[in-house]
Amino acid sequence: MAVTLKDVAALAGVSVKTVSNVVNGYSFVKPANRKLVEDALVATGYRPNIGARNLRRGRTGFFALMVPELGIPYFGELAAMIITAAHERDRNVLIEQTWGQRDLERSTLASLGPHLVDGAILSPEALEAEDFALLGPDVPVLMVGEHAVEARLDRVAIDNVLAARTAVEHLVRLGRRRIACIGENPRRGTSAMRLQGYREALADAGMPADAELVAPAVNYHRRDGAEAMRALLELPDPPDAVFCFNDMLAVGALRAAAERGVQVPADLAVVGFDGSEEGAYSTPTLTSIAPDKAAIAERAVERLTTRIDTGLPHESAFIQTPFVLEVRESTAGRRA
């Protein structure tokens, strides 16, 4: 069995309270006793039982992080940073994967509660507004990224409309005239805002909004990007540029272009979204909107911990984090 406070107290010849005080860096402890306790602490190799502490304190010390899947580079990287930020505040993170399925997202929401986690960071994909009723009234949660649902929750994200506009304006400035987009999907929150930014940029440039250039995508995997791109390339008047709603779609689009012998960027400029490292090494390298993931992680964890510690109610604040457009080979130079 592990060493307990009582064991340490016995060895040091003091009460558990004193040991507890020392362990928690509390109030004034007589120096002589402090020394005694510290020696006993190292002698026994004492380590607090986190579960017992949290039971007593009425919290668990855990966050839930709900994401579609860790195998997606964006979420793997984001999770990495959220875990790091949580550790800095002595919290641990439980990862719940939903594979973007609404039923799994719903059951994750329903399972959230004071019995298991103190709060949660959500990145839902298919949740509808009504689903948030599943959430207990006093479970502090917050969302990262854009989502279609209008929930009364704090949200940490970049300005997706602006980011999408930035991406498309970049293509306009390159002299591209038929700019497509890939990723339209009414059930995804990110889609709506990126589509809006796309449309705004075209409108600002006085370019027509051609419906056939808006390619839908059920999922946002590489495969989906490739399929959508193939369809676009088969158009009688194919696009000379494409804005993909994430990097995986863009990588798929690059793949489809390569298969058809379409030169990127000469015949087709491609912009992605996520700033994943994969895009920095693809052939050609990928221009992409790069959100500051570290900032998202930091702000989200910071917000959630203060929300938990203060016990204040939800506020549905929007915490905006920065992004940059990383220009790389896939949009290098003007149209040939």
x/- mask, a second copy, residues 62-101, rule CB under 8 A, reads -------xxxxx-xxx-xx--xx-------xxxx-x----
Which of 252, 265, 272, 291 binds a second copy (CB under 8 A)? It is 252
Nearest distance, CB of residue 83 and a second copy, angstroms: 6
Nearest Cα neighbor of 173 from 302, 332, 313, 12 is: 332
x/- mask, a second copy, residues 114-153, rule CB under 8 A, reads xxx-------------------------------------
x/- mask, a second copy, residues 276-295, rule CB under 8 A, reads -xx-xxxx-x----------
Burial 203-232 (b: 16+ CB within 10 A, else e): eeeeeeeeeebbbebebbbbebbbbbbbbb
The CA distances from residue 197 to 238, 290, 309, in Å, are 21, 16, 37
Nearest distance, CB of residue 297 and DNA, angstroms: 27
3-state secondary structure of 204: helix
| Beta bridge partners of residue 290, listed in sequence order | 324
Q: Kindly report the length of the chain.
A: 336
Of 43-51, 181-189, 211-219, 299-307, which part binds a second copy (CB under 8 A)?
43-51
319: enclosing H helix or E strand: strand 318-320
Which of 179, 226, 301, 304 binds a second copy (CB under 8 A)? It is 226
CA distance 294 to 277: 14
Question: Please, what is the end-to-end C-alpha distance for the chain in angstroms?
Answer: 73
The encoded tokens of residue 20 equal: 């507890």
The binding site for DNA (CB under 7 A) comprises 1-2, 4-6, 14-18, 20-21, 23-24, 27-30, 32-34, 46, 48-49, 52-53, 55-58, 115
* Interacting residues toward a second copy by CB under 8 A: 1-2, 47-52, 54-55, 60, 69-73, 75-77, 79-80, 83-84, 92-95, 97, 111, 113-116, 222, 226, 251-252, 254-255, 258, 277-278, 280-283, 285
